[in-house]
């Protein structure tokens, strides 16, 4: 084999880079969607946003097959033991995304029955802001975890410390359509 053929067909790299490339390209989310944020989570997996581009579209409802928990929506005191149980059953290494204001802080539900931030009871790696966050923002949160995996060594044994990364919104809000009066007695919306 001549050297040119060799250069075109052989790739040298480090074992940890190959292992981490495979790990970050095959995150298996465990959706814990309790409210409206769950709809945006579903939209993220839809054809428009196509989460499979990031290798994370295989939502698993069996915790032992999942390594990325996405908590989307408010969590009540009654639900928290269930959430903790599911988290404990997931395989290591595992990550947690807190999606939306309710999961991260309780949101507008400042009530005794609503958990005022899931990080009081379990580790959170990435906080995705918004009410609800747009799919792009959730994807940014997943990419933040991918970047961390890329830069890790080989999978660490035992438990990791939570990363606690806060994602910034990736879009600029624009004004809502303004009603337009035509002829003084009819109203239509800009499109």
Q: Name residue, tokens 């959706």.
A: 31
Number of residues binding to ligand SF4, judged by CB under 6 A: 11
Region of 50 (left: φ > 0; alpha: ψ -120 to 50; beta: rest) is left
- From the list 16, 19, 21, 36, which residue makes contact with ligand SF4 (rule: CB under 6 A)? 36
- From the list 19, 35, 43, 165, which residue makes contact with ligand SF4 (rule: CB under 6 A)? 35
- From the list 132, 135, 140, 144, which residue makes contact with ligand SF4 (rule: CB under 6 A)? 132
Binding mask 40-79 for ligand SF4 (x = CB under 6 A): ---------------------------------xx-----
- From the list 113, 131, 154, 180, which residue makes contact with ligand SF4 (rule: CB under 6 A)? 131
C-beta of 28: minimal distance to ligand SF4 in Å?
23
Verify binding: residue 107, ligand SF4, rule CB under 6 A.
yes
N-term to C-term CA, the chain: 63
Closer residue to ligand SF4, CB minimum distance, 70 or 149 = 70
Piece in contact with ligand SF4 (CB under 6 A), picked from 29-37, 110-118, 120-128, 172-180 = 29-37
Residue 1 burial (C-beta neighbours within 10 Å; 0-12, 13-18, 19+): exposed
| Helix, strand, or coil (residue 108) | coil
Verify binding: residue 94, ligand SF4, rule CB under 6 A.
no
Contact at 8 Å (CB) between 157 and 171? no
Piece in contact with ligand SF4 (CB under 6 A), picked from 15-23, 30-38, 152-160, 164-172 = 30-38
Q: Name residue, tokens 């806060």.
A: 166
- From the list 70, 71, 83, 101, which residue makes contact with ligand SF4 (rule: CB under 6 A)? 101
CA atoms within 13 A on the CB side of 82: 9
- Integer angstrom CA distances of residue 138 from 16, 97, 121, 141: 27, 9, 22, 5
Secondary structure element (H or E) that encloses residue 60, with its range? none
Contacting positions for ligand SF4 (CB under 6 A)? 35-37, 73-74, 100-102, 107, 131-132
């Amino acid at each position: 084999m001549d050297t040119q053929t060799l250069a075109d067909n052989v790739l040298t790299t480090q074992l940890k880079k190959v292992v981490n490339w495979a790990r970050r390209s095959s995150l298996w989310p465990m959706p814990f969607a309790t409210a409206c944020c769950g709809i945006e989570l579903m939209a993220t997996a839809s054809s428009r946003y196509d989460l499979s581009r990031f290798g994370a579209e295989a939502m698993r409802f069996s915790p032992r097959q999942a390594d990325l928990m996405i908590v989307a929506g408010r969590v009540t005191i009654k639900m928290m033991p269930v959430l903790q149980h599911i988290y404990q059953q997931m395989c290591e290494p595992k990550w947690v995304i807190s999606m939306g204001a309710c999961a991260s802080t309780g949101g507008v539900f400042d009530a005794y029955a609503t958990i005022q931030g899931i990080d009081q009871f379990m580790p959170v790696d990435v906080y995705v802001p918004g009410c609800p966050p747009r799919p792009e923002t959730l994807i940014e949160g997943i990419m933040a975890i991918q970047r961390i995996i890329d830069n890790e060594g080989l999978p660490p044994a035992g438990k990791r410390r939570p990363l606690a990364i806060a994602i910034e919104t990736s879009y600029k809000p624009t004004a809502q359509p303004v009603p337009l009066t035509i002829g003084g007695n009819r109203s239509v919306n800009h499109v």
